[in-house]
A and B are shown apart, each in its own frame.
Chain A
């Protein structure tokens, strides 16, 4: 029922596509973000000294803008940044530690799987409890902090199907008569299947993949999935939330609406994350800046990412995730994709 109630409120805006409803929701979200939740940078200590950050490539340019803003605000901070693919940097951190070297003070990764590589190697410092407590329930970890999230969604075309036709159980999608778009080669899709494997088991996941594969149309990426739904080529798709929101922001009358499953891999929230590799006040306080009200709101409104600090409004066009019940899963366990890729190959999806 909870899901249905939420869906109803979301779909009210989705059904009136291109009307001021969408815009008013966006405005409401933005204004709320500046009023409640999070700690303002005005109340954070000034950062000073040397700090080396390993930055996994992310939302092109916007993470850089955040870092530049933090540097500008803290002129006594000497921030050195090493950039690279997230997984490669995680491997570097582990390799450096094995060689007895710790070059990085902070690691900011675009996906939690890479964080898992570092925390599993016991290289991350325990974070202060007040910092963990800023994060929403289900996203509090002792030695790393999720920064922003993205949620798995079922984008659908309201001209072709009604919200009631979309199953609230991701496993039931396999038995529905809906035509489906998916992007099996896409990294986010593979993380979603990893979550399904962990939650439902190998056999059920294999069955689901085989069944969906019979009716699914494959696309190179998840934007392609969303666009196919919008054009009416299929009824429903499997994609991260931000493609639909971005499409809506540029094309308010797009024929797309979002549905969410309940408490399963279909509504998995994965996240970017940050951890400290050295026990240093500057490193810990730097993480506080990333969790600040201003940075969280900026990433929500500009990058359409989901703030994971309590009380910060979601991106324009997305209802509060407190109404959604994502599965309880340790995000760092999504690191190892190999069994997922093997399974997908075995059933002929890849």
Chain B
């Protein structure tokens, strides 16, 4: 419950950030098209897809309860999630919940495949359903912002020309994607995002940050190069990886404050 409340807090903050002019970069599994740039027009479809997915989830759990693990066909969970358009809608709008959905899917699948008692499977099912409804709520909120023109269009191209504080926002977003890819059981993709983010984004701001708080930069360097890659490589739980990322995001929030202050002191070129 605590995590659930924390995620809603993050959700509110994420949409505040989304009202900025920064373009949202996406690298969703699904196609980036009308369904993510006209959320309002697709809300009914998304609601139907979530309901359909949850009904199918329940059927899988019931089959497990009555006929056993093989008959349950737990692989259907991933197949069902891959085919719905809602998948890329939540992936492009609020990555932390997207990660929770993958975590939930694998939570149910693992419980079934390892033939856990039905009560344990139902617990995982409840967590997954909670994440799905939370995701639908996030997309509805995003649709309202998008309708008011406050949400940047989702692009498949890379974000350009960021100020230093905007770079921090982009780094935090990419760290959310690290958790999502890890939850999706794609650890190599997660590690690749970490390296790319460090090399192409963090290294660009660390110079300015060293003069403000060298210990903080050193701490984040260690997180990027040791703590997070180690967590991804050592088969940690998704929650453990998320904890590392949230710790880093807290440090990045402090870094953002310092960079905003430093930018005000910078002199003009000419």
Contact = CB atoms under 8 A, between A and B. Distances in A.
Contact of B214 (A57, A250, A298): A250
B160 A83 contact: yes
Nearest to B213: A250
A224 B222 contact: yes
A197 interface: no
Contacts of B9: none
Interface size class of A (residues with CB under 8 A): 35 or more
B5 interface: no
Interface stretch (B113-121, B184-192, B198-206, B244-252): B198-206
Contacts of B267: 298, 301-302
Interface stretch (A4-12, A14-22, A58-66, A319-327): A58-66
B200 A298 contact: no
Given A60-B164, A60-B207, A242-B207, A65 B224 contact: no
Contacts of A249: 211
Interface string B72-102: 0000000000000000000000000000000
Contacts of B270: 41, 69, 73, 294
A73 B221 CA distance: 37
Contact of B205 (A60, A223, A251): A60
A251 B269 contact: no
B70 interface: no
Output the residue of B204, B207, B213 with the most chain A CB within 10 A: B207
Contacts of A220: 221-222, 224-226
A182 interface: no
Interface size class of B (residues with CB under 8 A): 35 or more
Interface in A132-158: none
Contacts, number: 86
Interface in B214-231: 214-215, 217-218, 221-222, 224-226
A210 to B, nearest CB: 24
Nearest to B201: A60
Contact of A250 (B167, B212, B222): B212
Interface of B: 158, 160-164, 167, 199-201, 203-208, 210-215, 217-218, 221-222, 224-226, 263, 266-270
19 contacts: A57-B200, A58-B204, A59-B204, A60-B203, A61-B205, A61-B208, A64-B163, A69-B268, A69-B269, A83-B161, A220-B224, A224-B222, A246-B207, A246-B211, A247-B211, A250-B210, A250-B212, A251-B214, A298-B269
Interface of A: 41, 57-62, 64-66, 69-70, 73, 81, 83-85, 185, 220-221, 223-224, 227, 242-243, 246-247, 249-251, 294-295, 298, 301-304
Given A60-B208, A185-B225, 11 more contacts: A60-B164, A60-B207, A61-B164, A61-B204, A62-B208, A81-B160, A223-B210, A224-B222, A243-B210, A246-B214, A251-B214
